């Protein structure tokens, strides 16, 4: 729904002609029902735009020939991005999620080779089997876990990091990452609703991207959600005033604020 809202702006950062159809009236109802649902759109829109950019960089600059999108949900990037036709894109998610998307997008042509993989990513055996299938046919792969890690236990994120690193063509891992402070803020706003839906937010490592180092992943690029929102002109109310006030803080504190939430491109060691 947030992608639909952005796409309908005259100055849209991206255009997703399928978003409103996929969201349907249920998506509109969710935005209305969630506390600060419409005011929170900026963060999801920024995340989408920045990840679009990093994915295209991986393909066009770094030569990624495969994209593995874990917990793909209702993502439409293989339909709306200007990807080379030679790219292989794999959307992996629960069977009912992908069936819904496939039905709604029937007759629409993706711009590249698209595959759907029905999987419960908490099933380690099924997950490894999927990774092996993708790895066997790839040369350079970027893995995406947009909006996924925050709902996992730290031990589940560790297992996923190990499993991804065990596959040699998985060169990059694109994630979004929140700090404990952001999780507390989100808990106050959305916590009750997310718990009621069986999806509490769990993962926000205090050590940031260093969490992934023992599992063979290092930070290649960190895009601060705050800074990117200002760059893209999609930020919360009074953001620029807060930004100028923040410049009065000590450098260490400013860096802490900058890294409260971000989009991260990890690279295998």
pLDDT at site 246: 66
pLDDT at site 79: 98
Q: Residue range 86-105: average pLDDT?
A: 98
Is the pLDDT at 237 greater than 70? The verdict is: no
Q: Which residue has the higher pLDDT, 198 or 176?
A: 176
CA separation, residue 214 to residues 76, 150, 203, 217, 218 (Å):
33, 19, 17, 7, 9
Q: Which secondary structure element, helix H or strand E, spans residue 31, and what is its range?
A: helix 19-33
Q: Which of 117-126, 149-158, 197-206 has the lowest mean pLDDT?
A: 197-206
Is the pLDDT at 245 greater than 70? The verdict is: no
Is the pLDDT at 248 greater than 80? The verdict is: no
Residues in the chain: 269
CA separation, residue 215 to residues 110, 162, 210, 241 (Å):
34, 6, 10, 39
* Nearest one of 239, 138, 158 to 205, comparing CA atoms: 158
Q: Residue range 132-158: average pLDDT?
A: 97
Q: Residue range 231-244: average pLDDT?
A: 74
Read off the tokens for 217.
Answer: 């992943």
Q: What is the mean pLDDT of the chain?
A: 93
The pTM score is 0.93
Read off the tokens for 103.
Answer: 């039905």
Using the Cα atoms of residue 13, residue 53, residue 164 and residue 78 in order, give the sign of their dihedral: positive
pLDDT at site 189: 85
Is the pLDDT at 230 greater than 80? The verdict is: yes
- The pLDDT > 70 percentage for the chain reads 95
Q: Residue range 79-87: average pLDDT?
A: 97
Distance between CA atoms of 112 and 90, rounded to whole angstroms?
Answer: 10
pLDDT at site 261: 94
Q: Which residue has the higher pLDDT, 92 or 255?
A: 92
pLDDT band at 192 (very low <50, low <70, confident <90, very high): confident
Is the pLDDT at 37 greater than 90? The verdict is: no
Q: Which residues pair with 93 in a beta bridge?
A: 118
């Amino acid at each position: 729904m947030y992608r639909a809202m952005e796409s309908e702006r005259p100055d849209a950062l991206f255009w997703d002609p399928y978003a409103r159809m996929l969201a349907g009236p249920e998506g509109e109802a969710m935005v209305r029902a969630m506390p600060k649902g419409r005011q929170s759109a900026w963060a999801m829109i920024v995340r989408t735009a920045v990840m679009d950019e990093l994915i295209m960089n991986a393909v066009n600059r770094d030569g990624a020939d495969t994209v593995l999108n874990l917990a793909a949900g209702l993502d439409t990037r293989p339909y709306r991005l200007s990807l080379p036709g030679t790219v292989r894109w794999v959307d992996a998610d629960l069977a009912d999620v992908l069936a819904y998307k496939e039905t709604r997008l029937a007759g629409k042509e993706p711009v590249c080779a698209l595959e759907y993989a029905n999987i419960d990513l908490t099933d380690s055996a099924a997950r490894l089997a999927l990774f092996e299938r993708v790895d066997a046919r790839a040369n350079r792969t970027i893995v995406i876990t947009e909006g996924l890690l925050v709902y996992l236990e730290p031990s589940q994120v560790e297992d996923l990091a190990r499993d991804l690193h065990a596959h040699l063509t998985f060169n990059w891992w694109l994630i979004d990452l929140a700090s404990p402070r952001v999780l507390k803020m989100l808990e106050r706003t959305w916590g009750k609703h997310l718990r009621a839906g069986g999806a509490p937010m769990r993962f926000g490592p205090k050590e940031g991207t260093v969490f992934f180092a023992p599992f063979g992943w290092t930070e290649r690029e960190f895009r601060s959600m705050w800074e990117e929102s200002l760059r893209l002109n999609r930020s919360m109310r009074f953001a620029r005033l807060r930004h100028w006030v923040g410049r009065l803080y000590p450098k260490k504190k400013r860096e802490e604020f900058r890294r409260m939430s971000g989009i991260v491109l990890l690279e295998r060691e």
